[in-house]
Chains A and B, each alone.
Chain A
Amino acid sequence: SQTIHQWPATLVQPVGSPLSLECTVEGTSNPNLYWYRQAAGRGLQLLFYSVGIGQISSEVPQNLSASRPQDRQFILSSKKLLLSDSGFYLCAWSGGFSTDTQYFGPGTRLTVL
């Protein structure tokens, strides 16, 4: 069966510091990978998705970037965090079709102070 891992589970970072969140998937090959953010009182917003190694699509302009160095690894980064980057970050994976169900990881709670 497939599993998806995210770490860290929680993170408190000062404004202006760098960020690196990691997501890995087990039990599947060539998944589509996604980064979402849930800000307080809001729904889930897609930030990035990737259909293959090195292929990243950004959905919204922002202070963040994503990379996919390996087939089942997805990284969310920032060089300098802003207060507005606080939120709950979720990684998800799906099969290769656009209507395949997306399965989410446990999430990372990021607080920028």
Chain B
Amino acid sequence: DQQVKQNSPSLSVQEGRISILNCDYTNSMFDYFLWYKKYPAEGPTFLISISSIKDKNEDGRFTVFLNKSAKHLSLHIVPSQPGDSAVYFCAASYSGAGSYQLTFGKGTKLSVIP
């Protein structure tokens, strides 16, 4: 049972436009969400996170939106740059005692076309 789903395996966007990456989750206990960016043959790099007490978090060109009722979050990248081309993973966790697991989606490969 996949608790974190990224239904789009790939996305192509023109440079300068907005990239929107989507993520859905099924476990209502999740209360902390993260986005990671991964280049081939490298470890994931943390991008941005959001707690369930917020519905938006912004960091430079990156904004994460959380819709708890829909169990949906999205990452917006504005403007998109060629260097943003990578695989983006959505991850979720919950603050229950003894819970340390991040549950990852399968990733979305973003290609930003110059």
* A101-B46, A105-B43, A106-B43 known; A43 vs B100 contact (CB < 8 Å): no
B8 an interface residue at 8 Å Cβ cutoff? no
Size of interface on B: residues with Cβ below 8 Å to A? 29
Among B89, B91, B100, B104, contact of A49 (Cβ-Cβ < 8 Å): B100
Is there an interface contact between B46 and A99, defined as CB atoms closer than 8 Å? no
Give Cα A41 to B49, complex, Å: 24
* Chain B neighbourhood of A44, CB < 8 A: 44, 89, 91, 102, 104
Query: Nearest-CB distance from A16 to chain B (Å)?
Result: 26
B106 to chain A, nearest CB (A): 4
Main SS of chain B's interface residues? loop
**Which chain B positions have C-beta within 8 A of A32?**
100
A99 to B89: give the CA distance in the assembly, Å.
Answer: 17
Residue pair B34, A101 in contact (C-beta under 8 Å): yes
Number of A-B contacts (CB under 8 A): 63
Residue of B nearest to A102 (CB): B102
Do the beta carbons of A106 and B44 come within 8 Å of each other? Answer: no
Q: Is A25 an interface residue (CB 8 A)?
A: no
Number of residues on chain A facing chain B (CB within 8 A): 28
> Are B89 and A103 interface neighbours, CB within 8 A?
no
Q: A98 near B100 (CB under 8 angstroms)?
A: yes
Residues of A within 8 A of B45 (CB): 104
Question: Do A98 and B43 touch across chains, with their CB atoms under 8 A apart?
Answer: no
Given contacts A92-B43, A98-B99, A99-B31, 16 further A-B contacts (CB under 8 A): A42-B106, A43-B4, A43-B105, A43-B106, A44-B44, A44-B104, A49-B101, A59-B101, A94-B100, A99-B93, A101-B46, A101-B49, A102-B34, A106-B42, A106-B43, A107-B43
Residues of B in contact with A (beta carbons under 8 Å apart): 4, 31-32, 34, 36, 41-46, 49, 51, 89, 91, 93-102, 104-107
Closest A-B pairs by Cβ, 8 of them: A104-B43, A43-B106, A44-B104, A99-B32, A43-B104, A107-B43, A104-B44, A98-B99
